[in-house]
Amino acid sequence: MASSILHRATGVANYIGAVLVSLWLVLLAAGPDAYAIWEDLNAGPFGILITLAFIGFTFSVVFHLLNGLRHLAWDAGLGFDAKGSNLRSILIIAGAVIITAAIWIVGGLV
């Protein structure tokens, strides 16, 4: 149940995160003066919040992808048992946390 609600919430978060990424890309494409606005925001007190928002967006995308694969398995008629479904929910959430951490650590972003 929790992963179903989280799947819907991450779907909404993906749209919000896409706006944040789009803003970053627009400022990057607009040139050095426009991108300086982004760097000023990141250097100020909002820098930590922006970083946390990007980490949250990464988690949202990864979780939504992993849970979407589970939905594909359900469409094939697999994995409907209650005990196994709960275990897979926990594994998907744990996997999303681990993959998100790996992306940010390997990418040298944290």
Which residues fall in the annotated binding site for heme? 64
Looking at the structure, give the CATH architecture of the domain made up of residues 2-106: Up-down Bundle (1.20)
Longest CA span, the chain: 56
Which residues fall in the annotated binding site? 64
CB atoms within 10 A of CB 78: 11
What digits encode the pLDDT tens for the residues 24-80?
899 999 999 999 988 988 887 888 998 899 999 999 999 999 999 999 998 898 888
pLDDT tier, 110 (very low <50, low <70, confident <90, very high otherwise): low
- pLDDT at residue 83 greater than cutoff 80: yes
User: What is d(CA 105, CA 110) in angstroms, rounded to the nearest whole number?
Assistant: 6
Give me the residue spans of the domains in the chain.
2-106
- pLDDT at residue 88 greater than cutoff 80: yes
CB-based contacts of 47, cutoff 8 Å, min separation 6: 41
Please tell me the pTM assigned to this model. 0.85
The confidence score (pLDDT) of residue 1 equals: 66
